Structure 1
Amino acid sequence: MAPTTPTPPAPESGVAPESGAEAPRTFGRRKPPRHPLYELTKPGITGFVMVTAGASAHVAAGGAAGLWPMIHTLVGTGLGTGGALALNQVFEREFDARMQRTRARPIPSGRISARAAGVFGTALLAVGILWLAVTVGVLPAAFTALSAVAYLWVYTPLKRTSYLATLAGAIPGALPALIGWTAAGGSAFDLGGWVLFGIFFLWQLPHVLALAWLLQDDYRTVGFFLMPPSDPDGRKIGRHMVFHSLSLVLLGFAPTLLGLTGWIYGAGATVLNLGMLAACMAAASDMSFDRVKRVFFASLLYQPLILALLLVDTRPLP
């Protein structure tokens, strides 16, 4: 589940700067407020996590996952993810209130109390885990619980103390692959499930590092270590993005080699992975706002496209 941190959220543009302050460079537009409970679940991130789990279940079942198991997988994953994302905002409400891009969230803006949000998030998470355990099995429920623990009690506190938070946060973001895989009857030890986990783990790293560079002033305000502290020009981040995207090129073809997908996926994934690598290499040579922003938006485009390739080119089980 998301950053689960799961995967970490797409940027939310902040409120207008105080009078006399220089307007920060932003990307994306501020969305109008919606019901605070709805916003707490971060529907966009939750939706992507659900689709990731569903696509993994589809691959594990050789394209023949039953309708109701798939529905139960999506519902349980969505509930658990939404609950964990809500609880994350409870834990970080003081930091959210100080950052430009997050101060309009439901808790710091005063549209809901931290207590009410905590009750809501806890209930959603518990119901999601229970739903999965009852309908599709203990293993997907356990992976959902593990994802929440890694997100809330490892990644969330670690990003205030260590750059390792970037790696730690990618773990809950990739666990939906194993939630879906085991929900479809796959084993927790199947190589195919871990290959999908690795693909979604590696995809997140350039995504998060690009976001950290673009929002470095906001993160510095609250002391978040989502990029190396001794990297004022971004050279380390640039090298790390290239390394992770190169690893993704090497791993991305594995589902075809394992016989899980056909050559349509293999060719498409190779093109996508090389595109990510090219964007990261361009940014590493010049860590300008525009080039890093291209990496971020390329990573946003990558996820739905790789999921679509998995869905359309899964091979039947032998």
Structure 2
Amino acid sequence: MNSVNENVLIKRPFSEVVSDYYQLTKPGITMSVLVSMLVGFILGSGSDINFSILVHALIGTYLIAAGTGAHNQFIERVSDRLMKRTAKRPLPDQRIESRSGMIFSLSLIFSGLFYLILMVNPVAGAVSFVTALIYLGVYTPMKKVSPVNIAIGAIPGALPPVGGWAAATGNIAEPGMWLLFGIMFFWQVPHVLSIAWLCKDDYSSAGLKMLPKNDEVGRKTLFWSMICVLGLFPVTLALWQLNISGMIFLVLGMILAIGFTAYTIKFGMDRTKENAKKMMFASIAYLPLVWVAVFIDRFISF
């Protein structure tokens, strides 16, 4: 960064600097991670919720998730500068110096890892750290190589409830946590594909491969989206069949999956940006509502 920009940084109000670092943590995604982790923790706890461990799990998970989001922006600062939707982020806009962003992000990740290991359990720390490693070390660089990155990225995106369950139980061998993983995995692929369809020109200008190869009319995008939304139905049913959730969740979960499927079919019938936007909003609504269904079912049952 040149001296002019450094002087601008020095003269900026402290509140603006704090705001920029906060933006660096991708607060929306970080909050989604925390909620998903909370779902896993509550279902993994059964009838005996340890609220002290829950608070520690939330703190540690927040640190790693925030650091992961920040380090992703550090890695992608050059490509972010090439896209309209990301050009004004703190790093590409040079409101935060690159080295400072790197130190900030890595400090959060490793402090979160050690916090979880010491205050929760090593398994929870390992799950969260592996989540960050796959996201940053595999998914992020793969975005410039192959559209397979979407499936790879869905893996760390689906691990937070596994981390929550591990925080509550100290293991990763129970089927319930992997069914929650399934809900998030099957949700995330069509969610990302709808965004990719909306922003395909922006992604293309930055050299990011976010849509199936040679899919100008969107047939492959529709195919993979439909496969995943349909996958939500058996996973939802399995949670009920294994007595991990009750009838309330089954009914509400199926209704939400039907709604998500309907908007995906609508996109398939007419693959316009407008219908992709509707599919995206359906995906945005689905996840928090399905977690609300989990909470309603859980606490009414008790």
Determine if the TM-score, normalized by the shorter chain, exceeds 0.5. yes
The residue aligned with 1:237 is 221
CA contact (8 A) 2:245 2:294 kept: yes
The residue aligned with 2:256 is 272
Instruction: State whether structure 2 residue 276 is matched by structure 1 residue 292.
Output: yes
The residue aligned with 1:213 is 197
Alignment of 1:135-150 (within 5 A): 135-150=119-134
Residues of 2 paired with 1:288 and 1:82: CA distance? 34
CA-to-aligned-CA distance 1:219-267 (integer Å, 9 cap, x gap): 0001211111200111110121111101112212221111111100010
Residues of 2 paired with 1:246 and 1:50: CA distance? 26
Cα offset for 1:189? 1.2
Residues of 2 paired with 1:166 and 1:116: CA distance? 29
The residue aligned with 1:154 is 138
- Structure with higher RCO (Cα < 8 A, 6+ apart): 1
Residues of 2 paired with 1:198 and 1:313: CA distance? 19
Q: Which moved more, 1:100-109 or 1:282-291?
A: 282-291
The residue aligned with 1:261 is 245
Aligned residues: 287
CA contact (8 A) 1:64 1:316 kept: no
The residue aligned with 1:113 is 97
Residues of 2 paired with 1:298 and 1:63: CA distance? 32
The structure 1 segments of at least 4 consecutive aligned residues displaced by more than 6 Å after TM superposition are: none
Cα offset for 1:60? 0.6
Residues of 2 paired with 1:239 and 1:200: CA distance? 18
Alignment of 1:1-318 (within 5 A): 35-185=19-169, 187-314=171-298
Cα offset for 1:314? 2.5
The one-letter amino acid of 1:271's match is I
The residue aligned with 1:7 is none
The one-letter amino acid of 1:208's match is V
- Give me the identity figure in percent: 36
CA contact (8 A) 1:259 1:315 kept: no
Can you give the 5+ residue segments of structure 1 that lack an aligned partner in the other structure? 1-31
Secondary structure, counterpart of 1:184 in structure 2: helix
CA contact (8 A) 1:93 1:107 kept: yes
Q: TM-score, normalised by structure 1?
A: 0.87
Residues of 1 paired with 2:49 and 2:36: CA distance? 14
The one-letter amino acid of 2:100's match is A
Can you give the 5+ residue segments of structure 2 that lack an aligned partner in the other structure? 1-15
Residues of 2 paired with 1:211 and 1:93: CA distance? 19
CA contact (8 A) 1:255 1:261 kept: yes
CA contact (8 A) 2:63 2:109 kept: yes
RMSD: 1.8
CA-to-aligned-CA distance 1:196-221 (integer Å, 9 cap, x gap): 11111111011000000000000000
Q: Could you say which structure has the larger radius of gyration?
A: 2
